[in-house]
Amino acid sequence: MMKLNSEWALRLAVAAVLTTFTGYAAAEVPSQSLRLVSADAQLNQQIDSKTATSGEQITAKLTSNVTTADGTKIDRGAELIGEVSGVEASAHHGPAHISIVFNEARLKDGRQIPVRAVLLGAYPPEDDDNGTAADPMSLQPHFIPADQKIDQEAGILSHVSLHSNAGGQSSGNFVSSDRDIHLGRGTQLQFALAPRSSTNLMSGAE
């Protein structure tokens, strides 16, 4: 059994709170839902609101194996490909924001498939990460309500808050009220993920 250090214990507690208050781990499938499952990843490069530009490509490497609701297998080590979709630097201690969207997965055999990816959480990089650090954060597959909103308050990722919407266009929006945003290489990201063809709204539960 893996032993968790105090930092990971805190993160698991935070994840439990987010699950409780956002309600994305619903006991029943709503009449309209997005078919997404949980996936853990690490950011492959740093993103800074002072230097990032809209359209800049970004990638994140999966640190867990994923089987989507339609049976598509995406192995650990595959990359999610996306871009910075919006950015604003802080001026005179004013607000800053970074919006990102991931819309493709590059499989280990080189194939690329379109995906819908929604951020459920973001956490600081692990100093001694060996590629397994994100495993304790893994969640079982969930049905995500089409109008579900995720709001991670500042304090978990320094002064930066995270906001996302399962029915929105972006994967997530990072916001700071009074300074620039720096997402370091290795930032831990938790997604709700599905092949894009499976993210259309559906009527009724299966």
- CA-CA distance, 119 to 172, in Å (whole number)? 6
Q: What is the pLDDT of residues 59-98, one digit of tens each?
A: 999 999 998 888 889 999 999 999 999 999 999 999 999 9
Q: What is the pTM of this model?
A: 0.77
The chain-wide mean pLDDT, for the chain, equals: 78
Model confidence at 126, in pLDDT bands (50, 70, 90)? confident
Architecture of domain 6-200: Beta Barrel (2.40)
Model confidence at 144, in pLDDT bands (50, 70, 90)? low
pLDDT at 181 over 80: yes
pLDDT at 195 over 80: yes
- CA-CA distance, 5 to 8, in Å (whole number)? 5
Q: Are 24 and 145 in contact (CB under 8 A)?
A: yes
Q: What is the DSSP string of 119-182?
A: EEEEEPPPTT--S-TTGGG----EEEETT-EEEEEEEEEBTEEEEEETTSSSSEEEEESSS--E
Question: What is the average per-residue pLDDT within 27-42?
Answer: 66
Torsion of CA 192, 117, 172, 143, to 10 degrees: -30
> Cα 2 from chain centroid?
24
pLDDT at 159 over 80: yes
The predicted structure's pLDDT at residue 105: 96
Question: What is the average per-residue pLDDT within 19-47?
Answer: 64
14 or 203, which is more confident:
14
pLDDT at 133 over 50: no
Q: Which amino acid is at 68?
A: T
Strands 73-74 and 66-67 turn out to be: antiparallel
DSSP 200: S
Count CB atoms within 10 A of the CB of residue 23. Answer: 13
The predicted structure's pLDDT at residue 68: 85
Q: Are 148 and 168 in contact (CB under 8 A)?
A: no
146 or 24, which is more confident:
146
Question: What is the average per-residue pLDDT within 175-186?
Answer: 97
Cβ-proximal residues to 73 (8 Å cutoff; 6+ apart), any chain: 65, 66, 67
| Proportion of the chain above pLDDT 70, given as a percent | 68
Count CB atoms within 10 A of the CB of residue 151. Answer: 12
- CA-CA distance, 14 to 77, in Å (whole number)? 26
Model confidence at 148, in pLDDT bands (50, 70, 90)? confident
